[in-house]
Amino acid sequence: RQEYDDWAISAYHRYGLSDALTLGVRGEAEAGLYNLGTTGVMRSSRWGIMSGAISLSDGKENSGWAGSAGYVYRDKDFHLQGALRRYSSGYGIVGRLGTDERPEQEVMASTGYGVKGFGSFGLSFHQLTQYQGSNRKLASLTYSHTLYRRFNLMAAVSRTVTGDEGSTGFYVGLNYHPGSSLNTSLRHQQD
């Protein structure tokens, strides 16, 4: 049986002003804390998708701000995306009251490229720095390739560093799709 404490609420609304521009508002609240913000997404068929958001929070203990910016570009064989999120020391996030972790900055970047007949490669990086809690970094290299139309091979190697401790992980998987409603997979993961 799950026990819940106080109430919490979250809401957002987005409106497409055109095919290229979408604006929105968002908010969340719980007992003793609320934050409100705006969002915007701009799409260009030539340059990709750019997004941004800013939020303000106010609570019993602190008030603060948070902001984010993102970018995504995709074409047939190549993709590139990145995001940056920044939080002031007093920014309150609903659902995190009483936790030991408070984020300061988050940076994410990834890219991928597919070579016909050879497969797709991907590279990603994620870094989280915190006012309180352990900083984290994650870097990964991925590969996938379709074999004989019904088989798909996937492999990844990743490096994670949390605080002063690091670990390396490896993943390999083979999926088989014999029909439209059946999928069989074999996977191995090791850290």
One-character DSSP codes across 23-55: EEEEEEEETTEEEEEEEEEEEETTTEEEEEEEE
13 or 150, which is more confident = 13
**Environment class of 87 (CB within 10 Å of its CB; exposed 0-12, middle 13-18, buried 19+):** buried
Instruction: Express each pLDDT in 95-105 by its tens digit.
Output: 775 567 789 99
CA–CA distance from 106 to each of 26, 78, 93, 129 (Å)? Answer: 20, 24, 15, 6
Give pTM, 2 decimals. Answer: 0.81
> pLDDT, tens digit, for every residue of 18-43?
999 999 999 999 988 999 999 999 99
- Residue 161 predicted with pLDDT over 90: yes
Q: Please, which pLDDT band fits residue 1 given cuts at 50, 70 and 90?
A: low
User: What radius of gyration, in Å, describes the C-alpha atoms of the chain?
Assistant: 21
